[in-house]
């Protein structure tokens, strides 16, 4: 049995990761142990992927410690005095916590719990449902903020989920490093999974920090992406109803 040097808590108890490696290979960092395991499993761990199967709540503390160390090094390399500058003293840890617990939390947390209610009685709802969800995300190219709104439409299937769950799912997908195109796909897939609906439409409009704060410094640019599945894609009437609903929503709550 080979014990690696990773610790998952502060009580200094070494934790073994069976099957991680049988050749006596040791990792200094828990993050490296987890990465090795994901590679071995052919598990993709891109910035927009959820890896909650590999990261427990307990491990997160250790991972935050490790990321703090790494951010300290980045600040040092940027020649920022984190010893005497009071505003930079805790910055490395603040960054590490912010990444794990906030701006990338959707990578490490399992999908939101969505209780589904049956929608199969005689007077079942068969219409379209459009939910407006405010989004905060981050581009995986520059780690700049993405802010906007997603309009999620479905044709009700055999089960329904609570209205707030649409936004919880959208936010869970958004709290990662994403591209807006990828995000629209992710939300459509997860909404379809949670509701059983094959007919799903997702329209996102968002501003991008990487266009506003750097590069072209465009302050009023807006990016729109649309993903249509099932009737939303194949039936012009459904598609029109979806976009008419979005228009009504926008009149009601302008972005
Ligand atoms: Zn970017």
pLDDT 10s digits, 239-251: 999 999 999 999 9
Q: What spacing in Å lies between the alpha carbon of 179 and ligand 1's midpoint?
A: 8
Q: What spacing in Å lies between the alpha carbon of 205 and ligand 1's midpoint?
A: 15
Residues with CB under 5 A from ligand 1 (ion): 139, 141-142, 210
Helix segments in 1-90, DSSP class H: 30-40, 57-77
Q: What spacing in Å lies between the alpha carbon of 214 and ligand 1's midpoint?
A: 9
Q: What spacing in Å lies between the alpha carbon of 158 and ligand 1's midpoint?
A: 39
Q: How far apart are CA 83 and CA 104, in angstroms?
A: 27
Q: What spacing in Å lies between the alpha carbon of 173 and ligand 1's midpoint?
A: 17
Q: What is the pTM assigned to this prediction? A: 0.86
Q: What does the CA dihedral 166, 168, 173, 179 come to, rounded to 10 degrees? A: 70
| Interval 46-70: pLDDT, tens | 999 999 999 999 999 999 999 999 9
| Interval 78-130: pLDDT, tens | 999 999 999 999 999 999 999 999 999 999 999 999 888 999 888 899 999 99
Name every residue whose Cβ is closer than 8 Å to that of residue 160 and which is 6 or more positions away in sequence: 116, 117, 118, 119, 125, 195
| Tokens linked to 25 | 């290979």
Q: What spacing in Å lies between the alpha carbon of 113 and ligand 1's midpoint?
A: 31
Q: How far apart are CA 235 and CA 225, in angstroms?
A: 19
Q: What spacing in Å lies between the alpha carbon of 145 and ligand 1's midpoint?
A: 8
pLDDT band at 219 (very low <50, low <70, confident <90, very high): confident
């Amino acid at each position: 049995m080979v014990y690696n040097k990773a610790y998952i808590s502060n009580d200094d108890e070494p934790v073994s990761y069976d099957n991680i490696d049988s050749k006596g290979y040791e990792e200094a960092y828990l993050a490296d142990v987890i990465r090795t395991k994901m590679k071995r499993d052919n598990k993709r761990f891109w910035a927009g992927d959820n890896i909650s199967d590999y990261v427990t709540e307990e491990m997160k503390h250790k991972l935050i410690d490790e990321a703090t160390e790494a951010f300290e090094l980045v600040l040092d390399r940027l020649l920022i005095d984190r010893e005497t500058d009071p505003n930079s003293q805790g910055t490395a840890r603040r960054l590490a916590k912010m990444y794990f617990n906030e701006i990338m939390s959707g990578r490490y947390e399992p999908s939101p719990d969505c209780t589904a209610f049956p929608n199969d009685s005689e007077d079942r709802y068969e219409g379209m449902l459009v939910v407006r969800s405010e989004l905060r995300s981050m581009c995986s190219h520059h780690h700049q903020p993405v802010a906007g709104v997603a309009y999620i439409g479905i044709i009700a299937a055999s089960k329904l989920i609570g209205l707030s769950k649409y936004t919880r799912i959208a936010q869970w997908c958004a709290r990662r490093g994403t591209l807006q195109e990828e995000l629209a796909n992710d939300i459509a897939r997860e909404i379809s999974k949670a509701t059983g609906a094959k007919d799903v439409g997702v329209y996102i409009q968002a501003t991008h920090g990487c266009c506003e704060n750097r590069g072209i410094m465009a302050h009023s640019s807006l990016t729109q992406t649309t993903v249509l599945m099932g009737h939303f894609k194949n039936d012009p009437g459904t598609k029109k109803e979806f976009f008419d609903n979005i228009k009504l929503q926008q009149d009601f709550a302008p972005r």
